[in-house]
Structure 1
Amino acid sequence: MIDRQLHFKDHIARVRKLALFYLYRLYGMIGRKRKMSLRNKRTIYTMCIRPVMTYASPVFAHAQTDALYDLQIVQNKFCRRATNAPWYVKNSILHRYLELPTISKFMKDASERFFDIANSHQNPLLVEAVSYEPPPPNHFCRRPRNVLLDPPDDLTIWR
């Protein structure tokens, strides 16, 4: 599901819909009034919902921030429901309390791990495929490795 300009909007919309489906199906366990510990709720999220959202994230982590923000909304919904936080509590406080990085930070870390492993791989074709000089920052074409050069967003500054 790749669109013509490689914005991954269709893919991100499909992934968001699937992640929301899983979030709603697991609402009985991670809902507001449930007595399960926050640690267990976070574990359910990191094992069931986040892998759905971040599968193959080194490929589409460089997509537009507006498109990736849709995935961040899903994570924010989980944080609110799991902690039973009122509307006036900031999302950054909820992320810090649950010890969850934002989706963009998680994707950036996953991309770093992927490219580090690929650079030291024994297959020379794979090493050649991932080793390239990134274009200057004002270049209009973004490639997957460019996500490593992105500045941190507002929610990830505290880490």
Structure 2
Amino acid sequence: MKPHIKNVAARARAATHALAPVLKSRLPLRTKLGVYKTYVRPILTYAAPAWFALASETNKKILRAQQSLALRRLTNAPRYVRNSTLERDLRIEALDHFIIRLTRNMFARADASAHPHIRSIAPWHSRPPDRRAFPRDLLPSDLE
């Protein structure tokens, strides 16, 4: 997963850098946050339900850092302001919680689908021959 995470982080960093004039402007904070949610966060979370559970804690930290850097840039917050304070004040979910919510919603939609081929994308009972766990099984239960 390391090459993938590095690529995602580099693309998010490039998007944040390209949006720097907008993020540093005098636009309302709500507009800047919308720009972040529209352009940067989708880069960090694209197809995350498929790979996030398989990423190591170190790789997840790289993604969290990219979100924190983008939020700092749009708020012009100094280094001593905690990331959790930024997330709380901006009313934005931590990246882990957002991805886990996306994953749970994706599996719930797949399970509730009227189409059998979509329901069978992530089955509960059948396992691969090597007994590997599915991403659904790897979701942390402590973030419910």
Q: Same fold (TM over 0.5)?
A: yes
Q: In the aligned structure 1, how far is the partner of 2:84 from the partner of 2:111?
A: 34
- The code of the aligned residue for 2:14 comes to F
Q: In the aligned structure 1, how far is the partner of 2:138 from the partner of 2:6?
A: 20
**Aligned partner (choices 14, 31, 48) of residue 21 of structure 1:** 14
- The code of the aligned residue for 1:64 comes to S
Label 1:12 to 1:50 Cα distance change in 2 as closer, same or farther (>3 A).
same
**Aligned partner (choices 64, 67, 88) of residue 72 of structure 1:** 64
Residue ranges of structure 1 left out of the alignment (5+ in a row): 1-7
Please state how far the C-alpha of 1:111 moved relative to its aligned partner. 0.2
Q: Let me know the Cα RMSD of the aligned residues.
A: 2.2
**Aligned partner (choices 40, 55, 70) of residue 46 of structure 2:** 55
Q: How does 1:77-96 map to 2 (within 5 A)?
A: 77-96=69-88
Residue ranges of structure 2 left out of the alignment (5+ in a row): none
Q: In the aligned structure 2, how far is the partner of 1:141 from the partner of 1:93?
A: 38
Q: In the aligned structure 2, how far is the partner of 1:44 from the partner of 1:53?
A: 14
Please state how far the C-alpha of 1:128 moved relative to its aligned partner. 2.6
Secondary structure class of the residue paired with 2:9: helix
- The code of the aligned residue for 2:120 comes to E
Give the TM-score normalised by the residue count of structure 1. Answer: 0.79
Secondary structure class of the residue paired with 1:61: helix
Which region of structure 1 is more displaced relative to structure 2, 42-51 or 58-67? 58-67
In structure 2, the partner of 1:109 is 101
**Aligned partner (choices 92, 98, 101) of residue 90 of structure 2:** 98
Of all paired residues, the percent bearing the same amino acid is: 28
Find runs of 4+ consecutive structure 1 residues off by over 4 angstroms. Answer: none
**Aligned partner (choices 113, 119, 125) of residue 111 of structure 2:** 119
Q: In the aligned structure 1, how far is the partner of 2:94 from the partner of 2:134?
A: 21
Contact 1:108–1:148 (CA under 8 A) maintained in structure 2: yes
Which protein is richer in helix relative to its size? 2
Q: In the aligned structure 2, how far is the partner of 1:27 from the partner of 1:101?
A: 22
Secondary structure class of the residue paired with 1:130: coil
